[in-house]
Structure 1
């Protein structure tokens, strides 16, 4: 049924990680452009800043489907493939970064990729991240090491959240207002983690509960997990869900 569904009017924030996982012989550039073409045909592509403001202000989108793009973990294809194509379609993306993953050694990268269950992805370097920031893309915080925040004590949570923000701000010379927690579900982000994150970030994003704009009252803005290589009928189905404010 997803093949005949159309995006529901409203603001949709898509949460992705990469163009494809580890497929052999694929063309990431073409796959991602096909993804954007499909969305551009029926939606208005906007920045995360615009989408966030519309949601926070509860601005109704009665006739238009707005789509904003976010990408977690900061893989290298964000710089080489994703950002250039977003710019080609006259929009920007938001890239949520784990500072310890950037320019890490092979041992750390292997452990990091094991945590997120991926095999061969490499991170952007600081020069690439800074350039994306200068080109108008959002650089958000995604914790230092991509641990499950539900497993950490208060001291560890402060370090993962506050230190990552601090490093990003020092490297890029800006105010890091956007935070997305790792793994994305509410079970991975207990109340005490939210309390700490709110001390440092005005905007906090999940990767779950896509039928509602908010979780934890209005403290968290929900995103929908959709990878660009997924079948188009999956994309059509999830964007056709009518979203509610509460």
Structure 2
């Protein structure tokens, strides 16, 4: 775990850097003890960030908690995000944020390894054992009752490979509709493969905005879509 010094954290907080985002991908059970130690440390030094907390920060420009916020982000929709990462977040009172590649979840378990290998989704040996690699839609729905789930495109695509209106509808719009049908709540955020920033392509920015997303997650910041 990368742990900034207390002085560094205070300086960042004073400068208005209110939220730390930490990205994870597969969280196999064999690494659960290490993840548990990390999340325990984060829970000690940071405050959890719910969607309401993030909305309030962007609406008011003021962080209302006495510690900086922590958003642990678990990418792709691995089944172990639901079975390993989410319970550990809950153990320490953290809200997990889960960007889901919706076609990965939708894929027949028999073909999920092939899907992962052809769509930039990294696997460890444990991922390939025991059936599903991706979480089920029931697990997605259950996760959404306690955490934040949102699309990571449909097929784990970057904006540089989503080139026309049909591609945009599939990756930006239909992924949102698929999640919302399962969770019964609006999908608040979106993230491209490679964590591309809002503002790089007017065509793709407009698609994200028109689809009704409030936020776009990127490698360097969380963008408020407007």
**Conserved? CA contact 2:43–2:93, under 8 Å:** no
C-alpha deviations, 1:200-241, integer Å up to 9, x for none? 23322233224xx64xxx538xxxxxxxxxxxxxxxxxxxxx
Paired residue for 2:172?
161
Kindly tell me the number of residue pairs found equivalent between the two proteins: 208
TM superposition outliers: structure 1 runs of 4+ over 3 Å: 60-63, 105-109, 186-189
> Which TM-score applies when normalising by structure 1?
0.73
**Conserved? CA contact 1:112–1:146, under 8 Å:** no
- Which 5+ residue runs of structure 2 have no aligned equivalent? 128-132
Paired residue for 1:5?
5
> Which residue of 130, 134, 154 maps to 1:123?
134
Show the 5 A alignment for 1:71-110: 71-105=74-108, 106-110=110-114
Q: 1:198 to 1:40 in 2, by over 3 A?
A: same
> Are 1:173 and 2:181 counterparts?
no
Paired residue for 1:141?
151
Q: 1:64 to 1:104 in 2, by over 3 A?
A: same
Show the 5 A alignment for 1:1-246: 5-6=5-6, 7=9, 8-9=12-13, 10-19=18-27, 27-60=30-63, 64-105=67-108, 106-116=110-120, 118-120=122-124, 121=127, 122-134=133-145, 136-155=146-165, 156-186=167-197, 190-210=201-221, 214=223, 218-219=224-225
- After the TM superposition, which of the residue ranges 39-48 and 154-163 deviates more from structure 2? 39-48
Cα distance in 1, alignment partners of residues 51 and 65 from structure 2: 19
Cα distance in 2, alignment partners of residues 38 and 178 from structure 1: 26
Kindly report the root-mean-square deviation, in angstroms, between the aligned alpha carbons of the 2 structures: 2.7
Cα distance in 1, alignment partners of residues 153 and 38 from structure 2: 28
Cα distance in 1, alignment partners of residues 106 and 39 from structure 2: 29
- Which 5+ residue runs of structure 1 have no aligned equivalent? 21-25, 221-246
Cα distance in 1, alignment partners of residues 121 and 36 from structure 2: 25
Compare relative contact order (CA 8 Å, sep 6+) and give the higher one, 1 or 2.
1
Higher helix share: 2
C-alpha deviations, 1:75-110, integer Å up to 9, x for none? 111111111111111232121112211141344542
**Conserved? CA contact 1:149–1:193, under 8 Å:** yes
C-alpha deviations, 1:166-222, integer Å up to 9, x for none? 111222222222222222033996221111011123322233224xx64xxx538xx
